[in-house]
Amino acid sequence: MSSTRENSRELRFAATLSGIITLRMLGLFLILPVFMILARDIPGYTPQAAGLAVGVYGLTQAILQQPFGWLSDRWGRKPVLFLGLGLFAVGGMVAAASESMNMLIAGRALQGCGAIAGVAMALAADLTRPERRPVIMAIIGMGIGGAFLLSMGLSVPLATLLGLHGLFWLTVVFAIFGIGLVMTLPRSAALVPEVAHGQEQEYNMRPVWMLSFSVFLLHCVMTLLFVTLPPMLVGTFGFVLSSHWKIYLPAMLGSVVLMLPILRKVGTNLSERSLLPWAFFVLAFAVGILPLSANLAALGVLLAVYFLGFNLLQASMPSLLSRITGSRGRGRRLGIYSTFQFLGAFAGGLLGGQLLGHFGSQAALFSASAASLTWGLVLKLSSKGVFPTGAAR
């Protein structure tokens, strides 16, 4: 197969897999900007219970990522993708039919049982050449960023039209479309068996743990932000829910404009390792200054800066990880990474609800900023000795 045809095949595959992940993540992201406001009408509401409902999805995701990755190494990736999307759809139905916070929490937990993030990344790595993988992972990461972008623009109008329960029914529709896309994917083993760089005899798990904690913190901060920010927009700025998209959408679009040239350069140079600490510094700055914003314009600029850091990390970390894992046991190792990703979402929802309920939004955001700054310093000082020399420059 010629290089041009192989490139085209990989791009088509990446676009399909990105569509599957985008549909699933859109089902998650659509809920975030509006949940803490709309959930107030549900019997049994407290800030703590609502924060748990936001975050419990991440807990069940985290618990099942490694079992799903292990199963995908044995059953194949596609059957496990079908199973995960089916569970996500059933959980959406339970949440859509809920009449209490407890039932809603149960539905969110069941949605999270569709733990396919690690499996999807493993399949992406299976069917692409190592030298093309940063581009493929960037396409998938941009799909997640696109889901984030669409959710920022559509969440409030759709919530106004459909209500919270209607949004959950919409996640069921997304899951069904995702199942249809999985049917179009090839069922294949890795193109070329790969051995983790420099680890032919014994795999070094240090880079996996480093990146796993990085994605934990990234999603912890993201979920905490959307637990605390919508009430702050309403209470501090008097900005009604139906207008929140006017802040989210321009901020996300601005971040995409800034992100694309950076991602192209990172993919060309394989320089993700160098990018990681600076992206966390960007997060720390944006989240730390956010509660001090004097007006909505300043808040919008800071949100654009935050989204820039988030999207850069979301695209670059799995690209780096896929190159240093090797193909043997890839599903399990990417399952570890995804476990920490969704543990972060759970922790962010839980901590955000607790901090919001007891100390207010400023304390929550300052805490997230301090954690991001600290981890950025850790990466800056230690990542050169953790990641294999050939894995990143």
Per-residue three-class SS string for the chain: CCHHHHHHHHHHHHHHHHHHHHHHHHHHHCCHHHHHHHHHHCCCCCHHHHHHHHHHHHHHHHHHHHHHHHHHHHHCHHHHHHHHHHHHHHHHHHHHCCCCHHHHHHHHHHHHCCCCHHHHHHHHHHCCCHHHHHHHHHHHHHHHHHHHHHHHHHHHHHHHHHHHHHHHHHHHHHHHHHHHHHCCCCCCCCCCCCCCCCCCCCCCCHHHHHHHHHHHHHHHHHHHHHHHHHHHHHHCCCCCHHHCHHHHHHHHHHHHHHHHHHHHHHHHHCCHHHHHHHHHHHHHHHHHHHHHCCCHHHHHHHHHHHHHHHHHHHHHHHHHHHHHHCCCCHHHHHHHHHHHHHHHHHHHHHHHHHHHHHCCHHHHHHHHHHHHHHHHHHHHHHHHHHCCCCCCC
Q: What is the pLDDT of residue 204?
A: 65
Task: Evaluate whether 145 touches 314 at the Cβ level (below 8 Å).
Answer: yes
Q: What is the pTM of this model?
A: 0.71
- Identify the structural domains of the chain with CATH numbers, from first to last: 9-185+204-386 (1.20.1250.20)
Task: Evaluate whether 78 touches 181 at the Cβ level (below 8 Å).
Answer: no
Q: What is the pLDDT of residue 269?
A: 60
Q: What is the pLDDT of residue 296?
A: 85
Q: What is the pLDDT of residue 331?
A: 63
Instruction: List b or e across 99-117, with b for residues whose CB sees 16 or more CB atoms inside 10 angstroms.
Output: eebebbbbbbbbbbbbbbb
- In angstroms, the CA 321 to CA 337 distance is 9
What tens-digit pLDDT sequence spans the chain (393 residues)? 466 776 677 777 777 887 888 887 777 778 877 888 888 888 888 888 888 887 787 788 778 877 887 888 788 888 889 999 999 999 999 999 988 999 999 998 898 888 787 788 778 777 776 656 656 666 776 676 667 667 767 887 888 888 888 999 998 999 999 899 888 877 654 444 444 444 433 456 778 888 889 999 998 998 888 888 888 888 888 887 777 778 877 887 788 788 777 767 766 565 677 788 899 999 999 999 988 887 888 888 999 999 889 888 877 787 777 667 655 555 667 778 878 887 887 788 878 888 888 888 888 899 999 999 999 999 888 866 666 554 433
Q: What is the pLDDT of residue 176?
A: 92
| C-alpha closest to that of 189 among 323, 74, 317 | 74
- Which residues have C-beta within 8 Å of that of residue 179, sequence separation ≥ 6? 82, 85, 86, 89
| C-alpha closest to that of 225 among 52, 352, 110 | 352
Instruction: List b or e across 44-76, with b for residues whose CB sees 16 or more CB atoms inside 10 angstroms.
Output: ebebebbbbbbbbbbbbbbbbbbebbbbbbeeb
Report which residue type is found at 39.
A
State the CB neighbour count (10 A cutoff) for residue 359. Answer: 12
Report which residue type is found at 12.
R
| C-alpha closest to that of 165 among 96, 69, 259 | 96
Structure tokens at 149: 């972008």
- Which residues have C-beta within 8 Å of that of residue 18, sequence separation ≥ 6? 139, 140, 142, 143
